[in-house]
Structure 1
Amino acid sequence: MNSNFEDSVNKIVNKMGITKEELQSRIEDIKKEFDGLLSDEGALAIIAKDCGVEIEQDAGIFQRRLYINELEVGMQTVTVAGRVENIYPVRTFQRKSGTDGKVVNLTLRDKTGSIRAALWDEHVNLVENGSIKNGKIIELKNSYIKEGWQGQNEVNLGNRGEIELNPDVDAEDFPEISVEEIKIGEIKPDMNNISIVGKIIDIPEVKDITTRDGRQTKLQEMTVADETGQIHVPVWGEKINNISNASKGDVIRIKQGYTRLGFGNRINLNIGNSTIIEINPKGVQISQVEDLKQTQIEVPSYSAGQPQIKITDLTPESRNVNLIGKCIELGEVREVANDNKVMEVILGDETGSVILSVWNEDIQKMKKGESYQIINGYVTTYQNRIRLNTGKFGKFEVSEEKVTKVDMKSNISESEYKPTRKNIIEISENQLVEVRGTILDLISKNLMYDACPKCMKKVTFEDGEIHCPKCGIVPDSQKRMIYSFTLDDGTNNIRVTVIGETAEKLYKITSEEGQQLNLEKVDDSTQIQLNTEQFLGKEIIVTGRTKKNKLNNQLEIMARNIEEPNVIKEIKNTLKKYD
């Protein structure tokens, strides 16, 4: 055993008042619980955490190399291997200290699945010099698993991380990567290792771009089409050299590209480090393509088997909404963030009316007096008032069935919806609820995140662009406060996540002050502890919508408002139950 392990054993036996033999017995019991997955060091780390002893971990927690489908967010000192399926462009950045850094993302695959991997600084050299390339099996040691792009697991190498370029593995665990040549009309978001052949139908001039961190780069955008559709192809940095002699009308073959959803729900075919571009390859011809439309995500179409509801049936929990309504009033068109436009329309049927939000090019489709079929819509609430939306996966179209009678008196968007006070044990998914309880503990690791300025969703930075999972590529981001805590009401407990102004109100610190802590390099533990004690054990009333957490599949509340109980109001509410 190494000296750190022995030191840790001594700390734990002294703290717990047990013998080393008893501790070893507990180590073996924990290893059995994990079906042999943990090493002695890993089992010891669990015991140390349970009894509040801090230990150093030199050896790996896990006994063996893990398969990709065994990886979970929060795992440390992991060894994982995979065949390189895709290599994304290398990105450079400047740290707060002023030093330069670089990062590259890979997709690794084994027989159980795939995962995104991030390599930093000196490890990036292995990509740049060709030591790591598509199809090669590599092994990452002393890595850790975090939540990455679009909430998916991501493996990262820490300061002590290592890469084995020629690992001793069973090749059958790592199937060969197939590169599929497909038609543009078959392309969907988040595809890897695809190849297309098409004709360049638009290729504007190269643009000079300043990235968020102040770095200068270049961008050239193409539109490529075949007989089934067309797609947007952004080309960044040095990769532009591969198309420097390309012109409109040229045939292009793109091998080993990958797709992402861009701005306006447009699918982009992106060029990675391993992507190969051929201009006018021999023997390839493309038919006429100039009149084809941009490839978009398919929207589920309405069928007779889907339930159709009336407007007054809508609630804050309504999803997959299908209804027919008549446009009885058009609101003003407003310009909002990122050059988007929105118009509020009043839609009615014989039961009542509701506000429908219509965006961008859809605004021109909406005519007063026409009847429309809403397909796969959903309801949101603004200031506790209902709004109907179509969103990314919904749509509206002119209805063959016409609405002839409209109840103008019952506009459900004008009535304030009162959330239902519930015990935590009664809560289910996708409800607008009000819960009274006590804050038990703070479970966040940091206070800030980078937010889309339009929809406030978490953004990521890739290929010199800022990606929002809802809005696509956005020009900028902003810092926003976020943290979570456990709320208990005596019947059960639940995770509550608070964001933005609600988070600032409870924590008594602004987003600007939180960001200043980051700039001053205050570590996360200090940052979290600054104002924690003032609200632990505090009784509050939380209003918010319930949802399933993507990582652990447990219910949580996304808080919209938090307030302290008003004694008089609470007594009155209690008395109403007995009226």
Structure 2
Amino acid sequence: MSHQLTAGIFKRLFETDELDDTLLESRPTVQFLSYKKVATGGTTNNVDRYRIIVSDGEQFLQAMLSTQLNYLIEENHIAKHTIAIVDKFACNMVQGKRLLIVLGLTVLEKTADKVGEPTALQAPPSARSGAESASPAPEASASAISAPTPAPAPAPAPAPAPAHAPTPQQSVQRQGSRGSRGSAIYPIESLSPYMNNWTIKALVTQKSGIRKWSNDRGEGKLFSVVFVDDTGEIKATAFNQAADDLHARLQEGKVYLVSKGRVGLAKKKFNNVVNEYELTLERTTEVEECRDVVNVPTVKYNFVDIAGLQNVEKDAICDIIAVIKETGPMGEITTKSSNRTITKRELTLVDRSGYSVRLTLWGAQAEQWNAGDEHPVVAFKGVKVGDFQGRSLSMSMSSSMQLNPDIPDAHLLRGWYDGGGAEQSYQSHANNSGSGGSGLAFKREEVLPVQEVKEQGFGEPDKGEIFSSRATIMHVRPENLTYPACPTCHKKVIEAHDGWRCEKCNMSHEKPQYRYIITAAVADWSGQAWFQGFNEMGQVIFGMSGDELMEIKERSDTEMQNVLSRVIGSTYNFVCRAKQDNYNDNVRTRYGVSRIEPPNYAEEGNYIANLLRSEWAQ
């Protein structure tokens, strides 16, 4: 046995009334007896939690692995009887049992023999009596772990891994460090509803304005903030008098010592922060700003590229980092439910995936938008995914954004955009029916020839009206390719003495936003048909916005003809909606494009290969 365990460390940790720096910085060597994924108490986030049994050779106890260390289990860096140094940890008393929160560790030996015959560590008498006299706690979630300590169970034997597993790069504020009041500082990761006396040292990454609420139980006001340290993030909300007392004191970008708040289960309907719990700030809550802070925690992102939004569900929350290609003017909408006027502004985002997406700012965010740089890189956290006219994004009160953040992803985007990204064309998540084509997907196995669509009478009252088609563009009608639209509601605007007037929004704009309205003749091996589409269809086939196309048209007829010629012969996958209408007593069928996308030849090859292996080919 080449590594010796720190015998007796657990007993020393849990028999002392106050943890001193010597214990907290001791970096004990322990052995993992077992680990198990545990339920998360019904919460809706997707973060797994792992319960582990650790031994010092004399006693074993129950512990929780910090979520930032989940990769050690998921990537098979630790196994049954792994020996490791615990670099960072916190200790909590949970329902009369000691719970160790492992925040950082270094693997010394992945597979080893069991050391000694450790026994279960008993809680100190004072802790046991306190737990017995306390009122019953609500149902525990994963990080509280109210279940009895299990006997060590065999763990699966994973594949070999490097002897030394990586630890988090940024330093974690140890539990034993002290604030100005002398209180122990706990990592956010270790907070649970079963803790009363705690202090966190955290950065405020976002803060809402004070909002008023009213319901059957009365009325009041509230605001919320998000705290971040090196172990995680947590949302905190202050109500009524506490909101008045703390709103001006808590500022974004500053670090605070926060104590005497209440920890409860997160209400996921109003909370998109990845944490099982949230804080309630009360009148007794103490907040103290930390000055001259070193190693300030940073916002943690889980970025999705714009092309990948197609695989994100509607109403899901995600993080995006992108370049602002276009900034729309500020507009207004009137809500139907409350008849209230809300300001809005639309931004067009692009990234290296070759896609663009619209993101809407609301209220004060729209009014205060000032990028400074013409095309800044912006990191958005907690934005909502919509499917209006294809994929779209929307900021909410709990969302945040950071202009030109000093992170590697931002530097890569800046170099890419300045090095040629500004000149390329972008594809949008097309959904072009203009009336409820949302969610329609191209189905390769259901592709119908154009002639068969006509023969089957698609669009007639008793026939199905949605179909998939693969066809080649033969001609695009050059007349009325675009129309001048309101930047806010996209309805047609009329030029007047004070600008471009939108009757729907009841306001004028300095200039319109030109949007596509496309009529194209398409053909496949069976025949030809006329397909009609709107803005996203034009962006896909021309590879530019309607405004850019109009600039070319006004600049040069020859250049415009070249643009029209380039789209001829291009093949696309279409999802169409067939519908009959009556024009001058003439019944005709229109084929409106609900989705358009270039063929995915890798998928096509796989489909044909599978077809050749099927019974059809036998």
TM-score range, shorter chain: 0.3 to 0.5
Larger Rg belongs to: 2
TM-score (structure 2 length as normaliser): 0.34
TM-score (structure 1 length as normaliser): 0.36
